[in-house]
Structure 1
Amino acid sequence: MWSTFVMTLKTNLRDRSALFWLIVFPLVLSTLFAGMFGNLADSYEIKPIAMAVVEDANWKDASVASSFVDALSGKTRTSDESETPGAHADPGIHLIDATAVDSLTQARAALADGTADGYLTVDSEGGLRLTLASTVAGSAKDAMSSGSSKAVAIAALGNAIGLYNRTDAVTRDLIADNPQAAVSRSFWTSLGDTAGMTREIQLTNFKPDAMARYFYALLGMACLMAMGYSITAVTTAQANLSALGLRRTVAPLGRGRQLMAGFLASWLCAATSLLIALSYIRYVCGIALGGREPAAVIAVITASFMACAFGTMIGAIPGLTHSVKMGLTSAIPCALSLFSGLYGAFAMSLSELITRDAPVLALINPAQQVTNLFYDILYFDSYRPFLTTCGILLAMSAVFLIAGVIMLKEQRYEHL
């Protein structure tokens, strides 16, 4: 049995076609994905807008507006309200890069020469007014549907200024009606609470890359292609499919032990190939796993076991030649990967539709379940969904192996 295991292992390592589809193909496609999607995350990052701030007489009378603009630009202030140029306590996301000008004429000149995308002024009532260059406003409107960073930043800036103006107007009216409110600490604290109406929370184990789904759909496809190893191991043990199968049929080693050795060798090659692809995706393409790399290794081992079991069943189908069975190793993964989201946004939408409206179809799709293994790692705090998906794949493996054993057991030869 050991010699059969070693022989099958060597045969698999010499199979250039299998090595291409299981190692070269995932690496090349992952590189293409990284090149295509690598800058998409940066396009959604909010970048500050160059703004000219008109510091005229109205501006000097509105100290609160000055503090608000400093907060938008990420600047800090000292206790005596003097500006600290270039100082940033914790800049995080700031919406504007403010440049002070003395007059409205200078602000309009900055818009004309392109050094500023807009300008801020304070009206006679202390309200902030935002003016954008026509080219910037037009491009932001066109890009709003695609969610460009500048369009998002302009929308956020407009909302922030609108909130400031409403809060300022309400504050002035309340103090005018009730002057005692101006000396109440709770009154000013309640005004500050209006800025906290929304807050960012994290629902997943960590913040995954938005394009990670395509990489894990690729792993699902590559995993199913690994069934070619076990198909070869089964067909080379059948006397009616190859001369090697004829010799192995009359060998003293029983068919069961031959198939077991071939299955284990195929599983080892498939798992190793997929681990290489996973390592490339994780460390070269930079698709993080949130510190759950050991779980990802278990996912690959489980998925490759299922793929080899699937290949064993296909290899045991009577009446098909070896070339036809090997052709299925490409046709089946390509077809099933359509429903797991590999082929772009349309395929992702189709995968989500099937999962939501026809969960049984998603449940019996091996490519979808392999992809779900990595979704479970990324999007859930608990390991329970991951273990559930592992159980589904192991159940699939049991069904495939039982079907393969039944078909192999019923095969008889009139003569050798």
Structure 2
Amino acid sequence: MFIHLLRYKLKSLFREKDLLGWVFAFPLVLGTFFYLSFGNMINNEEYDFKPVPVALVSEGNTDAAFESILENLSKDTEDQLFKVTKTGEEAAKELLKDGKVDGILYTSPELSVTVAGEGLNQTIIKSFLERYLKDKAIYEQIGSNHPEKMEAAAGLLTKDIAFNKETSFSNTKMNNLSQYFFALIAMTCLYGSFIGARSVEDLQANLSAIGARRGIAPAHKLKVICADYLGAVIVNFASILLLFFYLIIILKIDFGTRIPYILATGFLGSVIGVSKGTFIGSISQISSQLKGAIMSAVNLILSFLSGLMFNNMKDIVEHKAPILNRINPAALITDCLYSLNMYENFDRFYSDIAIMGVIAVLFITGSYLLLRRTRYANIPSIF
């Protein structure tokens, strides 16, 4: 019975031309526009790296070794990594606020960093400081336990610093414009809300003739709900697969080599999108037109905050209101794709996936509770 319900739900959804237009066609068209606008810049193998602008606040007790290394990495050579501005704390904060530097390095009371957002330059600054602190701890431990090996250890650490240009977080060359395509994937996932809402509408007797007929059918209601939900997820995930195929195979957009993890992100994003639509669609007191308007507005706002219209938007939100990036499904999806391209380890990816899983569970639970409580005193004429 379940397979029968699922099969007919899939047939029903693939006959909804308006839904297929928004979920399948629109992302492809938007992706094409992105590519025509700056696709060649994304696929350009030569990346014009510019030194990372950073402010150095050196007040009170300072770390001479740290400042020496930072000075060497700031020399005007082809290997220059940083462009350092020495200033006071208040002036540094103004520079960061105005976007003139990507981070502030403090040497007192202890080495620390403040960055504006989560872009490539910010990652370089944080990783540099983390690496220095790690190497410093190793150096101090060697000095404490084996003083005779201090000179050799210092040589190794200096040699490691000298090869900073060859160090990479992953094997993928990232471009800031890739954020637009990451946000496009997130938007397509959220568009599954239209499918989820339509599926729920077909379950509600007061909203559609199909819902009225299915309401008196002998099929178990939970099986019907599960079949409709799974069908909606399958259709939305199919649109994600089509979009990935188009971007990677046809347009040659580089999403990296971790394809299984990328597809897993797309699948969980589809689950969230459909679940969000199911939740909104389960509110029986709202008309279908108003539900559609709410979903369109929510999808647009969430996509905007994730960087769909302005690629640095997510970084701005991270600096001004970071909590929004932790609860915005679109921002989490783009961050998953970003972390898969930028980091060798999966810590950040798994953190984002865990939050996405919680969001999906909340939407699913809310939808179930709303549908479970639906009762009809009478059914208005809808035939």
Q: Give the letter for the 1:247 counterpart.
A: R
Give the gaps of 5 or more residues in structure 1.
Answer: 47-92, 94-144, 146-192
Aligned to 2:24: 23
Aligned match of 1:187: none
Distance in structure 2 (CA, Å) of the matches to 1:198 and 1:256? 58
In structure 2, distance between residues paired with 1:210 and 1:284 = 21
Residue identity matched to 1:410: R
* Cα distance change, pair 243–285 in 1 and its aligned pair in 2 (3 A): same
C-alpha separation between the residues in 2 aligned to 1:5 and 1:321? 26
1:295-317: CA deviations, max 9, x gaps? 11111111111111111101101
- Percent identity, please: 28
Q: Cα gap change, 1:298/1:197 in structure 2, threshold over 3 Å: closer, same or farther?
A: closer
- The superposition leaves residues 77-117 of structure 1 with CA deviations (integer Å, 9 ceiling, x where unpaired) of xxxxxxxxxxxxxxxx9xxxxxxxxxxxxxxxxxxxxxxxx
Q: Report if the CA contact (8 A) 1:220-1:371 is conserved.
A: yes
Partner of 1:257: 223
1:198 Cα deviation (Å)? 7.0
CA separation of 1:375 and 1:412: change in aligned 2, threshold 3 A: same
CA positional deviation for 1:209: 3.4
Q: Which residue identity is paired with 2:336? A: L
Q: Check the 8 A contact 1:340/1:351 in 2, yes or no.
A: yes
1:400 pairs with 2:363: yes
| Count of aligned pairs between the two proteins | 267
Distance 1:207 1:302 in 2: 25
CA distance in 1, matches of 2:203, 2:302: 28
TM-score, structure 1 as length reference: 0.60
The letter of the residue matching 2:222 is G
CA deviation after TM superposition for structure 1 residue 210, in Å: 3.3
State the one-letter code of the partner of 1:18: L
Q: Secondary structure of the equivalent of 2:306? A: coil
Q: Partner of 1:209: helix, strand, or coil?
A: coil
Q: What does residue 7 of structure 1 align with?
A: 8
Distance in 2 separating the partners of 1:289 and 1:296: 8
Q: Which secondary structure state, in structure 2, belongs to the residue aligned with residue 317 of structure 1?
A: coil
Cα distance, 1:217–1:225 mapped onto 2, change above 3 Å: same
In structure 2, relative to structure 1, the CA distance for the partners of 1:331 and 1:357 (3 Å cut) is closer
Residue 183 of structure 2 corresponds to 217
**1:118-162, Cα deviation, whole Å (9 max, x unpaired):** xxxxxxxxxxxxxxxxxxxxxxxxxxx9xxxxxxxxxxxxxxxxx
Distance 2:5 2:291 in 1: 22
Which residue of the partner structure matches residue 410 of structure 1? 373
1:43 CA displacement? 11
**In the alignment, which residue of structure 2 is the partner of 1:53?**
none
2:210 corresponds to which letter in structure 1?
L
Local SS of the residue matching 1:214? helix
Q: Name the structure 1 match of 2:169.
A: 203
Closer/same/farther in 2, CA of residues 257 and 35 from structure 1, 3 Å limit: same
Report if the CA contact (8 A) 1:223-1:303 is conserved: yes
Native 8 Å contact 1:306 1:393 kept in 2:
yes
Paired with 1:257 and 1:245, the residues of 2 have a C-alpha distance of 15
Q: Which residue of 1 aligns with 2:196?
A: 230
Aligned-partner SS, 1:339 = helix
In the other structure, the counterpart of 1:378 is 341
Contact in 2 for aligned 1:354/1:361 (Cα 8 Å): yes
Structure 1 pair 44–214 and aligned structure 2 pair: CA distance change class (3 A): same
* Residues 117-128 of structure 1: pairs in structure 2 closer than 5 A: none
Distance 1:198 1:305, change over 3 A: closer
3-state SS in 2 of match to 1:397: helix
1:141-290 aligned within 5 A: 199-290=165-256
Q: 1:349 to 1:4 in 2, by over 3 A?
A: same
Distance in structure 2 (CA, Å) of the matches to 1:355 and 1:217: 15
The residue type equivalent to 2:351 in the other structure is: T
**Alignment of 1:350 onto 2:307:** no
Letter in 2 for 1:262: D
1:325 paired to 2:291? yes
Bigger Cα Rg: 1
